[in-house]
Amino acid sequence: MQTFVTKSWYPKGERVKLSFRLDGHNLPHKRPNLAAPNTQYNLNNPGAWGRFTGVVGDFSNFGTAQANVQMSIRAEF
């Protein structure tokens, strides 16, 4: 889920507009993108067959188990 908040103001009349934006990805719940399940059947460990044992992506990717927040400031003139 993506969430964002924007605040804009005009510090010098209508000639300059400043905008502040805060984006949040994977908020408020952290949901992992699970990797493919284990497809190899092992007689020594039959309980591991068909289980999800990994996630796709790393810490900095959008859409992973971690929540991500990004800030931006924009000036228009």
pLDDT tens, residue order, the chain (77 aa): 678 899 999 988 888 999 999 998 767 666 666 777 777 777 777 777 777 777 766 544 555 556 778 999 999 98
Please report the pLDDT score of residue 3 as a whole number. Answer: 85
Could you tell me where the beta strands, DSSP code E, fall in the chain? 2-9, 17-25, 68-76
CB neighbours of 10 closer than 8 A, spacing ≥ 6? 16, 17, 18
The values of phi and psi at residue 46, to 5°, are -70, -20
Range of the domain at 40: 2-76
Please report the pLDDT score of residue 47 as a whole number. Answer: 76
Specify the number of domains making up the chain. Answer: 1
